[in-house]
Amino acid sequence: MTALLASGRDADVYALDERRVLRRYRRGGDVTAEAAMMRYVSDHGYPVPRVYEADGADLVMERLEGPTMLQALGDATLDLRAGATVLADLLERLHKVRVRAATDPGTRILHLDLHPENVVMTEGGPVVIDWRNSTEGPPELDVAMTALIIAAVAVLPGPFANRAEPFLATLLSCTRDNPLSQLEAAAHRRLADPNVTAEEKAHLQEAKLLVTTSVRAHF
């Protein structure tokens, strides 16, 4: 196996060469749907890595150069307001992509894991990675999920905890979609997700309260 570049909660990323990486899910699975979604949104102008191959638990993709948004926020090459504005814009742009097949006009493409660790800040602009949870549904669910993930960082000890709440406030001030109608649905998804830690689940109610408070300050 070639060099390990990064490890996430459920997958490892290896360098194949200067232009390609292999993303391999440790618990197996089928990446077909993820690859199809990435190719679809890419065809509609949304910034994702190019997909070269998809087979079983393996996804061969374009190798991106640049820090994640979280890394850029951490080393202060990107300030909180700019980062939150970029993330809100990425959510809005995704929700403008025409769905593949839906009769409900309110249905949109959802990432459902769009947060600073899943945005790579390349020279050409931000690129969204990790599409395993992507689906179609109400855009408010996507915003609610992003808000809950960021709120979880705010309510737990960690290096970004004291900055996560103002980041969340700015994000919500920039979005048009009020996530409160889908907050419970997002919370249920978080509880069912095996990649969400026991500590995060234990503080889910606290995270929900923070989202609710932040939303009511802007809607």
pLDDT digits (tens, 9 = 90+) for 56-112: 999 999 999 999 999 999 999 999 999 999 999 999 999 999 897 777 888 999 999
pLDDT of residue 29: 85
- Bridge partners of 12, per DSSP, are 7, 24
pLDDT of residue 43: 97
Tell me the Cα Rg of the chain: 17
pLDDT of residue 1: 52
Concatenated DSSP letters for 85-126?
HHHHHHHHHHHTSPPSS-S-TT-EEE-S--SGGGEEEETTEE
Task: Extract the residue ranges of the chain whose pLDDT is less than 50.
Answer: none
pLDDT of residue 6: 85
8 A C-beta contact, residue 134 and residue 109: yes
**3-state class of 188 per DSSP?**
helix
pLDDT of residue 161: 93
